[in-house]
Structure 1
């Protein structure tokens, strides 16, 4: 049995941007619906959505027959949790709030087997190895694993050059909203100071030869970040899209007066 190819990682440094969508509904059924839309990648959110490891596993399974590539965001940098997420078959992990090269290096070690890391060997017990069915999983898996670290604080911005330079970090992902809060402009990622820091993170990441991504649900923001050098952008959030679509749909009927509508019918 062959090891699944990580198409998200393979395309990170291509000239074609990858457009993604946030999945926060914490449902394998919803994730499969979203995966069928054709986005390049989908983030399964384990930080702000109520996802457990078994729930994330079910969502990974629901996406298998679609081209949309899963990216799993962990709730923290806990190496035990990272081991569990890798063992259930996640190949691309996004880790929030990385603020130093030391933290980034520790994450790389958490994703690798000894002697280059601390990941425990589950062997035939894990879905990642297809229960022992993948030949030489340990020898091959590093080529397919992808580590995306989130820079979303002033300290992270200050250390981004060192973070991006860490061997084993494949990409840096910017969190504009958290960054705006930490910079003293809560809820205003469009503030000039926040934008200046975003642009500096993109430039530093690209200078290190790594890919850079960001969340941008407004088209004008997404286009600007792509022009600045971002290679993968999340352009929608399932909950937000559902909410806005439902509200728009409801607004079509809120001005209807039943008595008046009935009289017109006759």
Structure 2
């Protein structure tokens, strides 16, 4: 069963990755019970070469990964997918045309118009067999629209209705800023906005997720398919703090 198939039937657990570049992160995540990793190429500093190695290693051990690209651009989307990403997410999608472009550049015919090339995305199989490879990859790749603005909320119905958009993930921090209520994640304006996304995902049978604090995720735990809370920065920071506290406790 592909991650896309599992997404609509299970609760999948993942972590956002911004600074870790060693491929061992994929093994550590898998051994911990993670279902996927989510590499941030919008605010993170990954080169395509490093991204390729991380994704290839993950695919080899059945640890699929999403990539958040920096912008809605054909080159960014196709390059990340050619590196072997299972899922692709574009930030700040705000209307139907943008959602359609995202699908066009992330899916092969007959769904989109993605340019074909073998490589990490085909696990370096021999050349040829384009039609079957395209069908297999279309079935596997998860195309995600990230909703982070008031305009995106206003147009959520038309975004969610686009064929080929597989999931919608809310970015609550930028959404709160766009709504004029920075960091007020439980403000009624923010909750009403997220509720609209939830309803659109239910109506059009899309996966749903939130990248944010555990308290906010808990509120929507029944509706969320893709649970993403900790980023590698948090995990490392908290690990260091615990290590120091444990050592200090020896002398109390």
Q: TM-score, normalised by structure 2?
A: 0.88
Structure 2 matches for 1:61-76, cutoff 5 A?
61-76=56-71
Which of 231, 237, 245 is 1:237 aligned to? 231
Task: Quote the residue 1:12 is aligned against.
Answer: 7
Equivalent position of 1:215 in the other structure: 211
Q: Distance in 1 between matches of 2:124 and 2:32?
A: 30
Query: Does structure 1 residue 202 correspond to structure 2 residue 195?
Result: no
2-structure distance, mates of 1:247, 1:43: 24
Match of 1:190 among 165, 186, 210: 186
Q: How far 1:243 sits from its partner (Å)? A: 0.8
CA contact (8 A) 1:38 1:68 kept: no
Equivalence for 1:249: 243
Cα offset, 1:20, TM superposition: 1.4
**What residue number does 1:129 align with?**
122
Preserved contact between residue 216 and residue 233 of structure 1 (Cα < 8 Å): no
Change (3 A) 1:131 1:17: closer
Matched positions, count? 248
* Aligned mates of 2:188, 2:243 — CA distance in 1: 35
Distance of aligned partners of 1:246 and 1:122 in 2 relative to their CA distance in 1, 3 Å threshold: same
Question: Per-residue deviation at 1:159?
Answer: 0.5
Q: What is the DSSP-based 3-state SS (H/G/I as helix, E as strand, rest coil) of the residue aligned with 2:72?
A: coil
Whether contact under 8 Å (1:172, 1:210) holds in the other structure is yes
Q: Per-residue deviation at 1:161?
A: 0.7
**Structure 2, gaps ≥5 residues long:** none
Aligned position for 2:47:
52
The 5 A counterparts of 1:162-201 are 162-201=158-197
- Provide the rounded CA distance (Å) in 2 between the counterparts of 1:68 and 1:60: 8
Q: In the aligned structure 2, how far is the partner of 1:233 from the partner of 1:162?
A: 24
Select the structure of larger CA radius of gyration: 1
Residue 32 of structure 2 corresponds to 37
Which residue of structure 2 lines up, in the alignment, with residue 153 of structure 1?
A: 149
Assess if the C-alpha contact under 8 Å between 1:160 and 1:205 holds in 2: no
Q: 1:94 aligns with which of 89, 95, 101?
A: 89
For the 8 Å contact 2:20–2:232, the answer to whether it is kept is no
Quick one: distance in 1 between partners of 2:74 and 2:156?
22
